[in-house]
Copies of this chain bind each other. A is one copy, B any other.
Amino acid sequence: MTERETQARENIIRQGDRSTQCCLVLDGLLARSKVLIDGTRQILSFEIAGDIPDLQSLHLEAMDHELESISPSRIAFIQHTVLRDLLRFHPRLSDILWRETLIDAPISREWLTNVGRRDGVQRLAHLVIEIWLRLKVVGKVNAMSFHLPITQEQLGDAIGLSTVHANRILQSLREKQLLSWDHGQVDILNLDALAELALFDPAYLHLKPALSGFAPKATSRT
């Protein structure tokens, strides 16, 4: 097991790579993304402390997407062989890691729904709440504020919008007094309104109930 510091915008794993190790995010912010031949990019997820973005490489041969650092980060690498030995003798751990990889898919599906069926304002609101919740679970939020050092271009790539439009949507949410976003410092000013606007339902994150601490108004009357 080795540890490493990355700079911002560093490529960690490339599409097509055949990994012999998994990486664990200790601190910082990474993103997984797909780059199409025409150069357009879709960010698939953000990876924060505690995430193991490429755990899938344990069973899938080639990486099907890129993994890059957004901000300077600290990551640990664990050899597949080591991990496999561990799993052989600790079946419980196997289940835990299996569950871990399972949560990838629900999040991707929610993002798919986000991009496919919500408009720009909703998409941004939804993303903000997701990140806030996930950061909260690992203790990286300060009440309603957190640090998300992404550019508006990256924001657009995450929610399937152009940079310019991402900017305009940010402004509209600021005008509505729903959030502030300045130099990567995000502040949720009205969580309930934001959640209702985004049609946010935290179920897809599969958090332990106690950790969620957030019962969205919008979905409680089903």
Contacts and interface: CB of A to CB of B under 8 A. Distances in A.
Interface of A: 15-16, 32, 34, 36-38, 40-42, 44, 56, 59-62, 64-65, 88, 91, 94-95, 98-99, 101-106, 108-113, 115-118, 159-160, 199, 203-204, 206, 218-219, 222
Contact of A64 (B16, B37, B104, B204): B204
A99 B203 contact: no
Contact of A108 (B38, B62, B108): B108
A113 B44 CA distance: 8
B109 A199 contact: no
A37 B199 contact: yes
Sorted nearest first, the 3 A-B pairs with minimum C-beta distance are: A116-B160, A108-B108, A104-B105
A218 B112 contact: no
Contacts of A16: 203
B98 A98 contact: yes
A222 B15 CA distance: 11
Given A59-B98, A206-B60, A44 B115 contact: no
Nearest to A104: B105
Contacts of A219: 37
